[in-house]
């Protein structure tokens, strides 16, 4: 891949990157109407970079064909709004290297901008992981975002973070656009950030968590509370660039904390994200088993906290 093309794309990964979630109809088929409506809502609120991903987008609940169809549908919707928009799609959570190549080529052929790759095979060695990403890059010549999250050891089954030696060797590979940093560990985050500017870091976590990373050069993050209103993420990034810590902390205290320190700490992020999207009128919270859906009484807690947050959003933009 031409270095300047990869560099230009990297510079586009600036500020909030917006998740595309997967809702279902009453018969549990994919609700494509609500997906397109949600993409339009994000775009109208200022979103330019969209991300269909392993867990938020419910890949574990989908067949491989459904993942391909979902990826292609989202690419089409995002590019129809503006060809300059960036759309990232992903490969299945558990699959072979050959299958990841297939999904990468599909994304490339259908107009996507990058493929997000998650390797959930057990970890045996750095070389094993590097060869996986090397082969995909060699066979596709397509930008890769590495979804970095803890491995399971192939030796004792324990959860382990990516070794420092592995992270530092990622720069040996071509086509690596970014790392989605999902270890939830500040020291790992700082290590990943040391790969800048060659590899962009996309931080996955709360604003409260990544605010200390500002001094280490963080340039991009995966949206959280702004799933209900993209203007929150856009405004937060304006404060970030202006070094306005008062503004950033206001958003954290009044918009993020009520949700993440309330329902999310009680029910978990992945049960709450589509629930608050239902409360805000974007899609139904239902999921396919074995992912449990919040019960009616539990959902009432989401509705109550959403009303509080909504009033605070009005204050932010009044």
The half-sphere exposure of 247 on its side-chain side, counting CA atoms within 13 A, is 15
Tell me how far the alpha carbon of residue 220 is from its chain's centroid: 11
Query: Cis omega (within 30 of 0) on the bond before 197?
Result: yes
Cβ neighbours for 209, distance < 8 A, ≥ 6 positions apart:
184, 186, 203
Question: Per residue of the chain (318 residues), what is the pLDDT tens digit?
Answer: 656 778 899 999 999 999 999 999 999 999 999 999 999 999 999 999 999 999 999 999 999 999 999 999 999 999 999 999 999 999 999 999 999 999 999 999 999 999 999 999 999 999 999 999 999 999 999 999 999 999 999 999 999 999 999 999 999 999 999 999 999 899 999 999 999 999 999 999 999 999 999 999 999 999 999 999 999 999 999 999 999 999 999 999 999 999 999 999 999 999 999 999 999 999 999 999 999 999 999 999 999 999 999 999 999 998
CA 189 vs CA 10, 74, 89, 209, 293: distances in Å: 18, 29, 23, 11, 31
Count the alpha carbons within 13 Å of 53 in the hemisphere toward its beta carbon.
23
Domains of the chain, earliest start first: 3-244 (3.20.20.70)
Is 159 in contact with 124 (CB distance < 8 Å)?
no
Neighbour count for residue 36 (Cβ, 10 Å): 18
CA distance 28 to 17: 27
Contact (Cβ atoms closer than 8 angstroms) between residue 70 and residue 57 = yes
Q: Contact at 8 Å (CB) between 136 and 95?
A: no
- Cα 49 to its chain centre, rounded Å, is 10
């Amino acid at each position: 891949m031409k270095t300047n093309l990869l560099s230009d794309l990297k510079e586009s990964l600036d500020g909030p990157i917006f998740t595309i979630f997967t809702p279902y109809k009453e018969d549990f088929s994919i609700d494509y109407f609500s997906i397109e409506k949600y993409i339009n809502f994000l775009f109208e609120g200022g979103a330019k970079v969209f991300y269909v991903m392993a867990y938020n987008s419910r890949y574990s609940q989908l067949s491989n064909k459904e993942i391909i169809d979902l990826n292609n549908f989202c690419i089409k919707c995002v590019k129809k709004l503006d060809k300059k928009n960036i759309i990232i799609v992903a490969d299945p959570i558990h699959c072979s290297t050959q299958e990841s190549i297939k999904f990468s080529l599909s994304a490339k052929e259908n107009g996507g901008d990058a493929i997000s790759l998650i390797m959930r095979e057990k970890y045996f060695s750095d070389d094993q992981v590097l060869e996986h990403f090397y082969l995909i890059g060699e066979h596709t010549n397509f930008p890769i975002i590495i979804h970095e999250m803890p491995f399971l050891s192939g030796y004792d089954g324990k959860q382990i973070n990516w070794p420092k030696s592995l992270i530092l060797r990622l720069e040996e590979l071509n086509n690596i656009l970014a790392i989605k940093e999902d270890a939830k560990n500040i020291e790992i985050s700082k290590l990943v950030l040391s790969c800048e500017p060659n590899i962009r870091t996309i931080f996955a976590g709360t604003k409260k968590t990544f605010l200390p990373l500002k001094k280490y050069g963080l340039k991009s993050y995966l949206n959280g509370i702004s799933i209900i209103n993209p203007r929150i993420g856009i405004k937060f990034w304006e404060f970030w660039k202006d070094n306005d810590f008062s503004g950033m902390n206001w958003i954290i205290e009044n918009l993020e904390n009520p949700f993440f320190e309330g329902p999310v700490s009680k029910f978990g992020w992945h049960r709450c994200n589509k629930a608050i999207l239902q409360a805000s009128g974007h899609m139904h919270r239902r999921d396919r088993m074995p992912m449990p859906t919040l019960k009616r009484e539990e959902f009432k807690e989401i509705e109550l906290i959403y009303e509080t947050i909504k009033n605070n959003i009005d204050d932010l933009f009044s």
